[in-house]
Amino acid sequence: MKFNVIEDENAAAVGNALIKVMSLFFIGIMIIAFTANPISVGTNEGQRAPDVEGKFYNGSGWTEFDFSGYFNTSWQEGDVSGQWVVIEFMDTDCPYCQQSAEEFGQFANTFSVNNPEWNGAHVNFLASATELDIQGHDSDRAEIEKFRSDYNHNFPYIDDIDQDNMKEWGIPGTPNYFLIQPDGIIAWSSSEHKDEKVSDAIVRLVPRESA
């Protein structure tokens, strides 16, 4: 039996170079894989919360909001001194948001270090107020201020009338709640736990002194 072997002298140059470069590439990737554990940014539980931008109202005026200032990336699980964050994406004209507003205000007072009956980590409450694309849902900053005042809320309201934050977070409708750990990782989201209230999630997930 005869074999016709086709020899390509130039193939060796390409093959050798390819092996060297691919080895180098995979060594680089493996070094990264073994020494880093990247966490993606997103709105699912376990992901790093995206940024929230815009002006916020705290009762005295509208100033630039600094979302990253709420987080400490070196926080360790179980550390009670770390402050958690609950953010609500809402629309002042949304009936469900209006219905839950009073209760949401009570939660903010309950899960605070100022409440002697709460022995857990402090939970900061935030509201990102948007304007849904629904007829009759026109909103403005005055309406946001009035809404906050009507329900005696004492936490910051972020102006998201342009829907930038809502789009960034992929919010399908309002109200939508997220509980975020002190290191900025999403611990709970209402869209993943439709049968659980945000208050129950706080009780279940936020560490307490006696726990």
Partner 1 sequence: MSSNALVGVYLLPTLIGFLIVSPWGSSFTSSLVDRFPSLKTARGQLLSGLQLISLAGFAVSTQTLWISSKISEGGSFCSSTSTFSCDDLLGNSELNVDPVLGLSWGLIGMAAFALLLFIVLVLKQEHNHPLSERFVSMGLLTTGIGILIIGLLVSYEFQEEKICLYCTTAHIANIAAFVGFFRLRRLHENRDEWNK
- Residues found near partner 1 in the complex (CB under 8 A): 9-10, 12-14, 16-18, 20-22, 24-25, 28-29, 31-32, 35-41, 48, 50, 73-74, 183-184
CB of 45 to partner 1, least distance (A): 16
* H or E segment to which residue 90 belongs: strand 84-91
Which is closer to partner 1, CB of 83 or CB of 112?
A: 83
CB of 39 to partner 1, least distance (A): 5
CB of 54 to partner 1, least distance (A): 15
Can you list the positions of beta strands (E) in the chain? 55-57, 62-64, 84-91, 123-130, 157-160, 176-180, 186-189
- Of the candidates 40, 78, 44, the residue with the CA atom closest to the CA atom of residue 178: 44
Which is closer to partner 1, CB of 38 or CB of 136?
A: 38
DSSP label at residue 101: H
User: What is the residue whose two structure tokens read 């909001």?
Assistant: 65
CB of 134 to partner 1, least distance (A): 28
What are the distances in angstroms from CA 123 to CA 108, 133, 134, 162? Answer: 7, 31, 32, 27
**How many CB atoms are closer than 10 A to CB 1?**
2
Between vectors from CA 40 to CA 35 and to CA 42, what angle results, nearest 5°?
165
Which is closer to partner 1, CB of 48 or CB of 153?
A: 48
CB of 10 to partner 1, least distance (A): 5
Which is closer to partner 1, CB of 3 or CB of 34?
A: 34
Which is closer to partner 1, CB of 64 or CB of 195?
A: 64
